[in-house]
Structure 1
Amino acid sequence: MAEKATGGVQSVERVFELLELITDAGGDVTLSELSSSTDLPLPTIHRLLRTLVALGYIRQLPNRRYALGPRLIRLGEGANKQLGALARPQLKSLVDRLGETSNMAVLDSDMVIYVAQVPSLHSMRMFTEVGRRAHTHDTGVGKAILAQLDDDVVRGIVTRTGMPTPTAKSIGDFDSLIADLNRIRERGYSIDEEEQELGVRCFAMAVPNAPTPTAISVSGPVSRVDQAFADRAVPLLREAAQAISDELNQN
């Protein structure tokens, strides 16, 4: 196998380049679309795709497009569990210091999926379970993630998923969402103001330089999660997000 000067195995690098291109394209592409997105020769792309199809990591659709395959699901689930395990000490520290439930979520196929949680000891708390999928536009973690993306990417996500409004306070149109995302970009954190569940407020922050869009949050009843809580929570969220980022980016 040929190796690059960096010590990387070229064929492995090419495989992951193709997988990431397909992911970035929304999960399925044509051969010509792949060819226009990479400098790899067409015969090389075709050979790598054929191998990935045979292994189940890519599948070819009836319309000849190539899509991510089912065997990647198991790898993704395993990676999410490991990401949750890595973040759990920081989430526990947030709960210990703030007294409210802490979560971590990642962007997965236009939705957020919760990959870790440390619950509050209070009997009254937000019931979000690990493994639950939710929309991006009406959750604290979702909006923190969207604020890291270009507006055109955000438009694509909410166009594909729709913008349901589970409460009267939920954002239901693209222009209002972009206005909120601009506020999030300016202050550095998002707020779910009873948009997912009435009576529950959430503060969330993106994890910087994460390999996949990721955010952490603290949430609880509006009676406890007020402005005084925010004044304490935001610096601690920033500290925890940076600590998780540092660990994720260790060589």
Structure 2
Amino acid sequence: MTQASEHVTAVPRSTGGVQSVQRALDLVEIVAAGGGQMAIGEIAAGSDIPLPTIHRLLKTLIERGYMRQLPNRRYALGYRLVPLGIAAGATVGANAQSVLAGLVDQLGESANLAVLSGDHAEYVAQVPSRHSMRMFTEVGRRVELHCTGVGKALLAQLDSAQVQAIVRRVGMPAYTPHTITDEVALGASLAAVRERGFSIDQEEQELGVRCVAVPIPTGTASWMAISVSGPLGRMTDEVVDRAVPLLRQAAATLAADLTGSLNSNR
């Protein structure tokens, strides 16, 4: 069977910021997506950056340790990225993967952890279902807030002015006939999320996919949400009813873990 993907629509690149920084990060991401090492021609084929510029950017990345040039002239990710990844991973809690794995064991569907990243939700951890047909989300992928389970759980933690500002910056594109594309309707949906304590993505981002998510009460500016997602045929009302208390328990565990990590680092 083919493997389904949860919320895989790519987020357009920002046209703002510093172009040279964006291009350098593009090269790092291209090499990472290519398995961690690539030839210069492969890197060039994966980008729209002129070859002389690629050479200059790679030279700078090598000097800083974020890229390496191998004896066979291929380029590989540098080891300077390792401590950065460890430090970034620590911000989502040391036990995040085990908590997500526990949800998969109990519910049979993929479990995801996401944070608010600018005007989008970004997946920072996932444990996939063991079904051959399952939802798979690439860690690091950013998705829309208005039409995903984790996105609405994140938006529900913000006040109305913050939600309105985000929506007006990025819009509310329709991905399926079920996507909320109206600010008033989104406001009503978020009010319901705040009242019941969880959000539902009912084929709003991708047809045939259902997701239930809850916010993680971190008590900090790091807004987070945890979710379980799967094909509509398996994510029945009964599964959702079972998932909600388990997600709340998982969210409380992660919140306590993050609070303990913050306190120990002070």
TM-score (norm 1): 0.68
Which structure ranks higher in relative contact order (CA pairs < 8 Å, sequence separation ≥ 6)?
2
Q: Which letter does structure 1 place at the counterpart of 2:212?
A: F
Alignment of 1:37-116 (within 5 A): 79-82=87-90, 83=92, 85-116=94-125
Q: Note closer, same or farther for the CA distance 1:188–1:245 as it changes in structure 2 (3 Å cut).
A: same
1:204 aligned counterpart, secondary structure: strand
What letter corresponds to residue 237 of structure 2 in structure 1? Q
Q: Which amino acid aligns with 2:259?
A: N
Q: Deviations over 1:161-201 (max 9, x none)?
A: 11111111111111110010011111100000001110000
| Aligned counterpart for 2:258 among listed residues 215, 240, 248 | 248
Q: What residue in structure 2 maps to residue 69 of structure 1? A: none
Q: Secondary structure at the match of 2:116?
A: strand
Change (3 A) 1:109 1:128: same
2:254 partner letter: I
- Deviation of 1:127 (Å): 2.7
> How many residue pairs were aligned?
180
Distance 1:179 1:74 in 2: 43
Q: Is the 8 A contact 1:84 1:104 kept in 2?
A: no
Amino acid at match of 2:200: I
One of 154, 178, 187 as aligned partner of 1:169: 178
The yes-or-no answer on 1:225 pairing with 2:238 is no
Asked whether the 8 Å contact 2:216–2:252 carries over to 1, the reply is yes
Structure 1 residue matching 2:180: 3-state secondary structure: coil
Closer, same or farther: CA 172–87 of 1 in aligned 2, 3 Å:
same
Query: 1:80–1:189: structure 2 CA closer, same or farther, 3 Å change rule?
Result: farther
SS of 1:249's partner is: helix
> Within the alignment, does 1:179 sit opposite 2:199 as a pair?
no
**CA 1:79–1:110 in 2, change beyond 3 Å: closer, same or farther?**
farther
Change in Cα spacing, 1:159 to 1:79, as seen in structure 2 (3 Å) is: farther
Which residue of structure 2 lines up, in the alignment, with residue 200 of structure 1?
209
| Distance 1:167-1:233 versus aligned 2 partners, 3 A rule | same
User: Which stretches in structure 2 are left out of the alignment for 5+ residues?
Assistant: 1-16, 18-80
**Cα deviation, residue 209, structure 1:** 2.1
Give me the TM-score of the superposition, normalised by structure 2: 0.64
CA contact (8 A) 1:191 1:203 kept: yes
In structure 2, the partner of 1:238 is 248
The one-character-per-residue Cα deviations of 1:195-231 (angstroms, maximum 9, x if unpaired) are 1110000000000025300000000011110110011
2:218–2:224 Cα contact (<8 Å) kept: no
Percent of aligned positions with the same letter in both sequences?
A: 55
Match of 2:160 in 1: 151
SS at match of 2:210: strand
Aligned CA distance change for structure 1 residues 76 and 197 (closer, same or farther; 3 Å): farther
| RMSD between aligned residues | 2.0
Residue identity in the other structure for 2:238: A
User: How far, CA to CA, are the matches of 1:137 and 1:84 in structure 2?
Assistant: 26
Structure 1 gaps of 5+ residues are 1-26, 28-72
Question: Alpha carbons of 1:122 and 1:94: their partners in 2 closer, same or farther (altered >3 Å)?
Answer: same
Q: Which residue of 2 aligns with 1:121?
A: 130
Letter in 2 for 1:170: T
Cα distance between partner residues in 1 of 2:124 and 2:100: 12
